Chain A
Amino acid sequence: MSWLTNFVRPKIRALVGGPKKEIPDNLWEKCPGCSTMLFKRELEENLNVCRACGYHMRLDVVRRLEILFDEGRYREISVPKVLVDPLKFRDQKKYIDRLKDAQNKTKRQDAIIVAEGTVGGQKVVAAAFDFAFMGGSMGMGVGEAIVTGARRAVATKSAFVVFPASGGARMQEGALSLMQMPRTIIAADEVKAAGLPYIVVLTDPTTGGVTASFAMVGDIHIAERGAQIGFAGARVIENTIRETLPPGFQRSEYLLDHGMVDIVTERKNLNETLTRVLRLLRKDKGGKNNFLLGPVPHGARSSKRI
């Protein structure tokens, strides 16, 4: 690789010419928000957020966990295996083959990782979706992971934080995937019944049966900036109402306006927000301005009167 392939933008590179085969096409990425060409290494350092316009691109699930947990350290929790392809589903391709492809591509059993560690010193069990695995779709394996994570949180008295990134239920598992909706809601309820925080961090995209189940029953809903969040797909809605959708429809900010999420945050501020919320919910006595616990310094009282 030469300086040319490393630092020159693809368009210019094409003008300069050079051996075509040697050009790796993954060094630069175009921002879907503002079309700026972004140097991939820089983009990754910036948590997949465009430095020009702040557009939040999707984040790889492992990276997600690395930036979530303190010092990037976490322990993955294994999820019991579930029945594979009970429907023997086949469209243009066999589901079992799609599943194997996704497993080979991601080196994961299913579209989710369950992990535990600390976030700002608070014990957390996290369940994060991998959108690269069949669109993060929820079948029995994902349902099992949510149940496993919830129970681990209860057993270790940890908060349970889920990061959905999903197109919805996995249709290749038919009504069995539909049944993961009540199933995951029961799991979330177990965490809440144990008096532990159940936090949902909605990331791009969260749609369909995932939104309409465990993702909408959190104690607190935090959405990453600009994430698509909704029930019905935009295309389906357009076909039903036969008109174009309003700008910003089904985005985090739209959900905030409509009362469905508590907080919309930039990715870089997510951990700080999460930590603050967890500390407050768990009555952690830390905090910078500890008025209640520390003695008030002489003369520090406000002279303001009502």
Chain B
Amino acid sequence: MADFAYFLGCIMNNRYPGIEKASRVMFEKFGITLNDMEGASCCPAPGVFGSFDKTSWLSIAARNITIAEDMGMDIMTECNGCFGTLFETNHELAHDEAAKEKVNEILSEVGREYKGDIKVRHFAEVLYNDVGLDQIAAAVTSPLDGLNIAVHYGCHFLRPTADIGIDNAEKPTILDEIVEATGAKSVDYRDKMQCCGAGGGVRSRDLDVALDYTKDKLTNMEAAGADAIVNVCPFCHLQFDVGQTEIKKKTGDEFNIPVFHLAQFLGLAMGFNPEDLTVDVHQIAVDSALEQIQKLDEITGGE
């Protein structure tokens, strides 16, 4: 199978390294090599760079893409924000000759040139299309039967559909299918496709608004009986994990719903050590979910 240029970004590697660890181990098992993109930077953050100055946003993103172009590999990233920035930049520069020229003039200052000959792909889409549900299901050693999961797609994984086209953005199934390959159940909940609240620079500029979104989502997930949240974006992950403590501080509302990035979640199902997944340092304890998995293990004898 194809190898990828592995784009890290910021929040995953600099806050939740268990996501990175799980991904590296998992893809090795699936026979896919994740190659480091040496010297890559922030994607850059779409909420700030995209909002402040489009040319800066495109240029830094294009620089990151040129690293993968030099490697001759498609990019894989597991952050919706990074995916949005890199995909959109790649898309725009491929379709807008003037923008490409402008960006290349800037990149020439550092001896780089954007060519547009690689693809930008999202980790979850690679799992679904390249690895496939069968191989994922076959790799599950600790089935998560009986665990109710609230899947959170986030925004920039699927949207804008006109450009990305991975799945139907109003009613997608791709993540639910991956989650259910572990034996867990994906529960439907109200406003499932709504944003976590962190995007567009809203978290840093107006935390109250961001947390109002998050509380909305958590309330709906709780009402649906979710045991845990599974996301595919470290920023959404942070918003749900840290956000729950912030909501508690601000309003006194406690949810205590464990949060897993899909890489961590699959890691659990594949029998990885929870400590290697760094789920023990999450703000919201994941014990309740792990205990339930433990219980299931006892019943099924761990198989």
Indicate, yes or no, whether A interacts with B.
no
